[in-house]
């Protein structure tokens, strides 16, 4: 026999041994629920999830109400739609934050005002670049 054929046979034997080991482990894995005393895979998985701290999935309206009751109460948010009072101090704070290079959304969140309010204050101070107008298209001649 040539060396190439011997190498191919050796590689094939190694592959067969690898696959046999894989099958042996698969058999162990398939027997795992029964080894721990569970009648089926579904109940074994449910037990694993409980052991890991995951709650079983609930369905229906009653389950949703129960889930709401389990959650910690959220902080009470202010009513939406109430306008913030824009004081000269807030305007100066916006101007300073813009000079520092902060984005408008971060400024708004920090000062408790809306992003459009920040934009209006920036316009008031001349801190907003005017939009560039697109050149008008050339008239079509027939």
Report pLDDT digits (tens) over 102-117: 999 999 999 889 999 9
**Could you give the CA distance from residue 137 to residue 121 in angstroms, rounded to a whole number?**
34
Give, in degrees to the nearest 5, the angle at Cα 104 between 103 and 107.
Answer: 90
Domain layout of the chain by residue ranges: 3-57, 88-124
For position 22, what pLDDT does the model report?
Answer: 78
For position 28, what pLDDT does the model report?
Answer: 72
For position 115, what pLDDT does the model report?
Answer: 92
Local structure of 128: helix, strand or coil: coil
**Arithmetic mean of pLDDT, 48-52:** 82
pTM of the model: 0.37
The candidate with the shortest Cα–Cα distance to 119, out of 100, 103, 133, 131, is 103
The candidate with the shortest Cα–Cα distance to 118, out of 95, 89, 85, 88, is 95
For position 72, what pLDDT does the model report?
Answer: 45
For position 73, what pLDDT does the model report?
Answer: 46
**Residue 19 binned pLDDT confidence (cut-offs 50, 70, 90):** confident
What's the whole-number average pLDDT of the chain?
Answer: 79
**Residue 49 token pair:** 């999830």
**Arithmetic mean of pLDDT, 65-85:** 60
């Amino acid at each position: 026999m040539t060396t190439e054929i011997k190498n191919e046979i050796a590689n094939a034997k190694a592959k067969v041994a690898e696959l046999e080991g894989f099958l042996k482990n698969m058999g162990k894995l398939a027997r795992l629920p029964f080894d721990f005393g569970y009648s089926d895979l579904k109940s074994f998985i449910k037990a694993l999830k409980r052991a890991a701290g995951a709650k079983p999935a609930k369905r229906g309206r009653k389950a949703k109400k129960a889930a709401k009751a389990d959650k910690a109460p959220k902080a009470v948010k202010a009513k939406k739609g109430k306008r913030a009072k824009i004081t000269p101090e807030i305007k100066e704070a916006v101007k300073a934050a813009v000079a520092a290079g902060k984005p408008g959304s971060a400024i708004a969140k920090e000062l408790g005002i809306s992003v459009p309010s920040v934009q209006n204050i920036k316009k008031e101070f001349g801190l907003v670049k005017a939009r560039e107008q697109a050149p008008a298209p050339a008239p079509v001649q027939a």
